Chains A and B, each alone.
Chain A
Amino acid sequence: MVRLNLTLALPLAAFLALLLVPRSRPAWSRWIALISSLLIFAVSLGLLAGFDRSGGDFQFETNLPWIQTPAIRYHIGLDGLSLWLVLLSTLLTPVAVLVSWRYIQNRVKEFYAFLLLMEFGLVGVFVALDLFLFYVFWEVSLVPMYFLIGIWGYERRIYAAVKFFLYTMAGSVLMLAAMIYLYNATGSFDYHTLLGDLASGRLELGRTEETLLFLAFFLAFAIKVPLFPLHTWLPDAHVEAPTAGSVILASVMLKMGAYGLVRFCLPMFPNASREHAWWIVLLAIVGIIYGALVAMVQPNMKKLVAYSSVSHLGFVVLGIFSFTQQGLDGAVYQMLNHGISTGALFILVGYMYERRHSLEIADYGGVATPAPNLAAVFLITSLASLGLPMLNNFVGEFLVLQGAARANFTWAVFAATGVILSAAYLLWLYQRAFLGPATEAVRDQMRDLSPREWAAILPLVALMVWMGTAAQTFLPPISASNSLVLERVEQGVIVNVENRIPALPQEADHAR
């Protein structure tokens, strides 16, 4: 319990501490950010020690009153779904600090302060068990990212930052309306209470009511995922963000949307989820193929990786809305995989930019000659991202496809083309950038990885292998939590009928 609260509170404390650092000492900011983010990661690793891996229920819960009217509680907890996402956030923050070490020379203190505020918002989103608290963290994480893109981004950063903010805001206000609606119906924002009321029939939603509420939540999450055709903010935001921003955005922030789908949409609105699954799956598959095709023709490396995200996140949504254990497990696993491999790709592209000051693929070629280590790491990461067996993405994609095939075989067939296409665009990228003859400029500028750069990327590469070969380290808690979600989804229709049954035994008694 203390550990989880610490994991949540320490980033905020570090943020406040950074505000107090004098601006004339950028080195202090860097070290404070690095040490505190490593400390936070260490504390969050402590969560693993006390975590019961077989039960899917919430652990480390803290439930304190925050505001009396309306009843808003500081209610946080961790289950198998959020556990790994919290760890992903705490792992990637020190990585983001490391990759920005040299690149960020301007307003250093503010940069790291925003990075840690971001971590606070992200961890908060994943552990909040009060809808209102969730919304607060959801919005809190929005502001630092807006600044990270807008201040430290590339040329079109302002356009990208504002677009990012407005897209997310437009989605989230409707979610807020839906939350207030639920509150007015039940008098609670508490996740457990709401689910309990829904299951016991204390809160009965009519068909249109449930559909509208589902759509309000779904829209907010779909924008964040992003689901085709709501993805247009993503390439802009990714391309314009500084490396650390892209990493956090791709690896963790996009997961907020997918997490919200599994955590809120499915269990709270099971009937509407099932009813609307067909077009959501359709959009997911379109996104998988469309994202991959667009990625293939990008001349800009960052854009290519950004569109590959659209494609990969399509798998996640497909897995979620297949309503099968494998599909859901694969989706959650794929969230983590995407966080690690796409995060790593953004880091590597960032390294290349720092050397050559260009994101155009055409400006590279033959990089493997002067920088063999960089090339090797890039190759492993690409192979992981395209789903080579023994590396992490394979497990996730396999499970998703298996789940999708169970639900509807045609879905799996179409989605599988995305895997093939991802091999095409990633290997082609590798071929154009790293193989062939190296030009003079490339040979001059492309140094190999420095120790600091190794330190940032190595944990991710290690995880790619680990998650690809020993999925059993990670999967059991995920499955346990997912099976509870699935139970609720499947009971959705039945429970409402069962609720009317409790009257029967009494009647039976009378009959006797």
Chain B
Amino acid sequence: MPGSFVPASAELWRFLPEIILTLAGTFLMVLAPLVRDRRQNALGYVAAYLFFAALAAALAAHLDPGPAFQGLLVIDGFATFFRVLVIVVGLFTVLISFPYLGREHADRGEYYALLMFSVVGQCLMVASGDLIMLFIGLEISSISSYVLAGFLRRRPQAVEAALKYFLLGSFATAIMLFGVAWIYGMTGSTSLMEIRNGVLKLGQPGSVFLAAAAVALIFAGFAFKVSAWPFQVWAPDVYEGAPAPVVGFLSAGPKAAAFAALLRVLVVGFAPFSHRWEPLLWLVALGTMVVGNFAALLQNNIKRLLAYSSIAHAGYVLVAVTTHSEIGTAAVMFYLAAYALMNIGAFALVTHLGGKNEQFLNINDYAGLGARQPAAAALFTIFLLSLIGVPPTAGFFGKFYVFRAAIRADLIWLTVLGLLLSAVAAYYYLRIIVVMYMREPKNGVAEAPPLSGALGAVVWVTALGTILLGIWPSLVLRAATEWALLVR
């Protein structure tokens, strides 16, 4: 392969966000033991600033888009969109973690370092043009997430969550790696471009079948990451046991990155036989929506409820993925951005209202919030209405774009079923609103202090963003439409 092993400066420039975050994470790791326990939250502020630096770097890297490291990474608009998204999610997570970690006496620098490493992994995933790079990014992101899920190591549920997440997650990545190996065996490459060319040359029906099986294996790995049916079983347990800010992070960042990588793999690498994987995805999308929405109806724990809701939303996104079109890709991008906003906001509130040791997680604990804390309840209502998909919120336009892409792709049956299921979803989100506004206050979240500080700021900003995107979706959609064109 031509080219020297010393990367050009342009390549380093494109790689800048990852460099910043990796160095920053290492720096925080080194610094953590040197800082007194009481002052550990200062590291959080440092982490927040470093996330800002990474955000600036991600935007700066877009000034000179192109491949890096012999095509292992592809910095295009699509990658920039998702890099910005996951970095912002990381930043929000840091901000909502301050009060939480302080309350749980778990304020340690490693937390922020792990968060940064996880974001590094996601940045690599969304920009990878090669299955090996993708796999490395996925592992970096996942391993940090496993540790984050069990960060409160004295809490049994957290340990259970981390273990479950780790076991099932490593199993899923192993299956995925198997698929990668298989594809490599057939096409002689792990680069998505070359896989595309190799797949086109496959002659006999037998080898096409093998390639399809390899796609299915790789897809299974992704399905686990985005908690799609039938690989969704870990999600409710992990969401229930992991610290609330981490759950917010998991439901937004890694999920968005996995969807981005999935899109790139399917659209760039395996587009030539899309007719083979599309039916598989229809089925998975439908199953995910059905399982997520119906199981959520039965939940009483708010974190479990939001876990199933997150499964259901993965189903909607998959609907757009199956369309295998540019407007579908743009819809995925918009949806994930909108979902990140509303879900981070919702989890920030769950974090805030959960109280010490996350004791208030039952829906009935939210009774009377509307009377005692009108601002928090109103903001939560905005997020819930957006999750239902009521205009004018970001969630509404997300659904609208997704199902518009689906109708354009003649998937009318899937659209009708998906929309009806989203009407089912209204029921469980409304339940929370009912409890907040229509039941008498009792001991529970209503006793929590008013919103303030960094967490309050995140809630307000995400709520504002949710409304803003519901009135002017073009703010994000224009970028998404422009950048949905993947380099092929």
Interface residues of A (CB under 8 A from B): 23, 67-70, 107, 110, 135-136, 139-140, 142-143, 146-147, 150-151, 157-158, 161-162, 165-166, 169-170, 173-174, 176-177, 180-181, 183-184
Contacts and interface: CB of A to CB of B under 8 A. Distances in A.
Contacts of B481: 69
Contacts of B385: 143
Interface string B399-426: 0100110011000100110011011001
24 contacts: A23-B374, A67-B473, A67-B477, A70-B404, A110-B374, A136-B392, A139-B390, A139-B391, A143-B390, A150-B433, A150-B434, A151-B437, A158-B438, A162-B427, A165-B430, A166-B423, A166-B427, A166-B430, A170-B420, A176-B403, A176-B419, A180-B400, A180-B407, A183-B404
B426 A165 contact: yes
Contacts of A170: 420, 423
Contacts of A150: 433-434, 437-438
A139 B399 CA distance: 14
A123 to B, nearest CB: 16
A158 B436 CA distance: 12
A166 B426 contact: yes
Given A173-B423, A176-B419, A180-B403, A68 B478 contact: yes
Given A151-B438, A174-B416, A177-B412, A169 B392 contact: no
Secondary structure of the A contact surface, majority rule: helix
Interface in B414-467: 415-416, 419-420, 422-423, 426-427, 430-431, 433-434, 437-438
Contacts, number: 82
Nearest to B415: A177
Given A110-B374, A174-B419, A180-B407, 17 more contacts: A23-B374, A67-B477, A68-B478, A136-B391, A146-B430, A150-B434, A151-B438, A162-B434, A165-B426, A166-B423, A170-B423, A173-B423, A174-B416, A176-B419, A177-B403, A181-B407, A181-B412
Nearest to A172: B423
B163 interface: no
Contacts of A162: 427, 430-431, 434
Contacts of A136: 391-392
Contacts of A140: 390-392
A177 B415 CA distance: 7
Interface residues of B, number: 35
B419 A173 contact: yes
Contacts of B359: none
Nearest to A175: B419
A162 B429 CA distance: 11
Contacts of A67: 472-474, 477
A184 B391 contact: no
* 6 pairs of A and B residues whose beta carbons are closest in the complex: A173-B419, A136-B391, A170-B423, A169-B423, A150-B438, A180-B404
B143 interface: no
Contacts of A169: 388, 423, 426
A68 B472 CA distance: 10
A184 B408 contact: yes
A215 to B, nearest CB: 11
